[in-house]
Amino acid sequence: MADDSKNHLPPPESRHQAPSDLLWTTNDFAVALKDVPTVPDDRFKRICESAVSRGARLSALLVLPSKPAATNGTSSILAVLADDTRGRIGLIGLAVPRSNSFESLSDVLPQAQAFEREIFESHAIRPNGHPWLKPLRAHAELAPAGNGGSSPVPKHPFFQVAGEGIHEVAVGPVHAGIIEPGHFRFQCHGETVLNLEIQLGYQHRGAEELFLRSKPSRRLAIAESIAGDTVIGHALAYCRALESLSGIEPPLHAQVLRGIVLELERLSNHVGDLGALCNDVGYLPGASWMGRLRGEFLNLLMELSGSRFGRGFIIPGGVRFDLSATQKLTMLAHLAKADRDFNETAELIFDTPSIGSRFEYTGTVAFETAQELGLVGPIARASGCSRDVRNDHPFDVYRFAHIPVATAESGDVMARALVRWLEAQRSITFVKEQIAELAEGQLAHESEPLKPNSLVVSMVEGWRGEIAHVATSGPDGQLTSYKVIDPSFHNWPGLAIALRDEQISDFPLCNKSFNLSYAGHDL
């Protein structure tokens, strides 16, 4: 199977570019583990670098369970490179030498830095030459942490700036509002932020290990709990991964329903974010009306799934509930009303001069920075990067119904707000169309056992951006590894960069415009 994917997937030009280096596959397309090429670390770095220079993006960098036969018991590292313009995913393995260290990619690929810190922290494999090899989730104060506490957690200082008039501000992990815990360390000169370092990990629950430890029936609930606001996104990525590994395709009817709930989740969050942005600048009408509208979309999810966050709707093989004819009518009526109210409120917000003065030129992330950091989702699109899994690596219903990618240019808070507005509009249109045209159909297929020794990359465009789940199965058809990459993992460094030379008083607004998940990052 890996062979036919090789035969028909690469576009012609890649034949001249060392075609054997990477194994090309697509979203949700399982490959045999043995087909993933494994190379030594200097070549690994060169291959990753050249793939990124040709437009790919490091989607994941993870440690695979050891393949005893192939690598004599040492582990191997897998790079997942998403080539968005060509809609394909490149896989390359690195055989970790006995020294348990490899040449760090971070000096040439900044997007690899967090992944390498994670690998160092949980597997004690050292990326040589990493510029800031600090634990990502485990802190000296929180030890023991990491995978089974196998890696010692050294005390690692925060980046510091010295000089006259420089002061340090520490925020969190306990905050004044009801938000997740995270620690932010600012180096300031007066009100200007010179550097922001973000220390997370307070929410680490060992989600990935739980996946493997739990019985299969529990895994869906774990996927739904990775990030409480991305229930559907992670559940869908998990189910797609499982379905691909067992070679089944959910019925079209279920795919459509999945698309509807995924967009409803996006809607409720984007609408809520627009309200929260208004709240942070003290703009009352925007905050209260958007806050109410968020409830409207959550209620629609409730109508479909019985849970305002869509828990238990998506199952491996399909979905659990159907939409009756009367439900369709009520949902369409509610959608029409919510659509009108939402656009009126959004127009009011974006027409208010004081909002413009506050949102524009605040927390700017340049296009080049977004590319270099490998940002994803609305944050990347606000900086002009046209990347959207629904468009670039279409899955489920998005292969048949396309949603145009919404981008903006300026990369500031205004751009991030505008992208959310545009996306919400398009999602409403999509949901309306899909509900109106919804036919009868089967809800789910029976699940099948997993194919042995396979690997799948399952990507879903959640409301925050690309959710990637990488799963492998062992010889007995059991899951042997499960890696979750929440979009927040890619985007947190973007927030730190957005704050450079900004006013410290604008941090809450910038933070809200990113609205990243702490739990999704900490896993």
Partner 1 sequence: MLEIVIHIALLILFPPLLLGLINKTKSWFAGRTGPPLLQAYFDIAKLLRKGAVYSRTTTWVFRAGPIVSLGSVLSAGLILPLASNVAPLGFTGDVILFAYLLGLSRFFTMAAALDTGSAFEGMGASREAAFAVPAEPALFLSLAIVCIPAKAASFQAAWDALPWALWGGAHPAYLAAAIALFAVMLAENSRIPVDDPNTHLELTMIHEVMVLDHSGPDFAFILYGSAMKLFIIAALLVHVLLPIPEHLSWTGVILLCLGEAALAVLIGVVESVVARLRLTRVPQFLIGASVLAGIGLAIALYRGAA
We find the least distance from the C-beta atom of residue 290 to partner 1, in angstroms, to be 11
What b/e sequence results for 367-402 when a residue is b if at least 16 CB atoms lie within 10 Å of its CB, and e otherwise? eebbbebbbbbbbbbbbbbebbbbbbbbbbbbeebe
- Give the Å distances, CA to CA, from 349 to 108, 352, 406: 41, 5, 19
Residue of the chain from 32, 171, 302, 496 that contacts partner 1 (CB under 8 A): 171
We find the least distance from the C-beta atom of residue 51 to partner 1, in angstroms, to be 40
DSSP string, 395-416: -GGGGTS--PPP--SS-SHHHH
Residue of the chain from 211, 283, 342, 518 that contacts partner 1 (CB under 8 A): 283
Comparison of 87 and 295: residue with beta carbon closer to partner 1: 295
Strands 314-315 and 166-171, bridge-based pairing: unpaired
When asked if residue 66 is in the footprint of partner 1 (CB under 8 A), the reply is no
Residue of the chain from 75, 343, 391, 503 that contacts partner 1 (CB under 8 A): 503
Rg of the chain's alpha carbons, rounded to an integer? 22
We find the least distance from the C-beta atom of residue 186 to partner 1, in angstroms, to be 8
Binding mask 234-273 for partner 1 (x = CB under 8 A): ----------------------------------------
DSSP H or E stretch at residue 481 = strand 479-485
Residue of the chain from 15, 156, 167, 205 that contacts partner 1 (CB under 8 A): 167
What b/e sequence results for 8-28 when a residue is b if at least 16 CB atoms lie within 10 Å of its CB, and e otherwise? ebbeeebeeeeeebbbbbbbb
CA distance 102 to 175: 38
When asked if residue 288 is in the footprint of partner 1 (CB under 8 A), the reply is yes
When asked if residue 509 is in the footprint of partner 1 (CB under 8 A), the reply is yes
When asked if residue 280 is in the footprint of partner 1 (CB under 8 A), the reply is yes
When asked if residue 355 is in the footprint of partner 1 (CB under 8 A), the reply is yes
When asked if residue 285 is in the footprint of partner 1 (CB under 8 A), the reply is yes
CA distance 28 to 460: 10
CA angle (236 as vertex; 441, 210 as ends), nearest 5: 135
Which residue in 139, 66, 71, 77 sits closest to 105, CA to CA? Answer: 77
Q: What stretches of 138-276 adopt beta strand conformation (E)? A: 166-171, 183-189, 192-199
State the virtual CA torsion across 27, 32, 34, 39 in degrees, nearest 10. -10
Which span sits near partner 1 by CB under 8 A: 12-20, 152-160, 256-264, 499-507? Answer: 499-507
When asked if residue 496 is in the footprint of partner 1 (CB under 8 A), the reply is no
| Window 358 to 397, contacts with partner 1 (CB under 8 A) | 358, 362
Comparison of 140 and 179: residue with beta carbon closer to partner 1: 179
We find the least distance from the C-beta atom of residue 288 to partner 1, in angstroms, to be 4
When asked if residue 276 is in the footprint of partner 1 (CB under 8 A), the reply is no
We find the least distance from the C-beta atom of residue 507 to partner 1, in angstroms, to be 5
CA distance 43 to 63: 17
When asked if residue 506 is in the footprint of partner 1 (CB under 8 A), the reply is yes
When asked if residue 31 is in the footprint of partner 1 (CB under 8 A), the reply is no
Residue of the chain from 282, 306, 404, 449 that contacts partner 1 (CB under 8 A): 282
Q: Cβ(419)–Cβ(375) under 8 Å?
A: no
CA distance 334 to 370: 37
Residue of the chain from 176, 215, 326, 351 that contacts partner 1 (CB under 8 A): 176
Q: Cβ(176)–Cβ(161) under 8 Å?
A: no
When asked if residue 346 is in the footprint of partner 1 (CB under 8 A), the reply is no
We find the least distance from the C-beta atom of residue 228 to partner 1, in angstroms, to be 20
Residue of the chain from 56, 60, 504, 516 that contacts partner 1 (CB under 8 A): 504
Which span sits near partner 1 by CB under 8 A: 323-331, 448-456, 486-494, 498-506? Answer: 498-506
When asked if residue 292 is in the footprint of partner 1 (CB under 8 A), the reply is yes
We find the least distance from the C-beta atom of residue 178 to partner 1, in angstroms, to be 9
Contacts of 55 (CB under 8 A, 6+ apart): 83, 84, 85, 86
| Peptide bond preceding 378 in cis form (omega within 30 of 0) | no
When asked if residue 352 is in the footprint of partner 1 (CB under 8 A), the reply is yes
Q: How many residues sit close enough to partner 1 to count as binding (CB under 8 A)?
A: 32
What does the binding site for partner 1 look like in residue numbers (CB under 8 A)? Answer: 167-171, 176-177, 191, 278, 280-285, 287-289, 292, 352, 354-355, 357-358, 362, 503-509
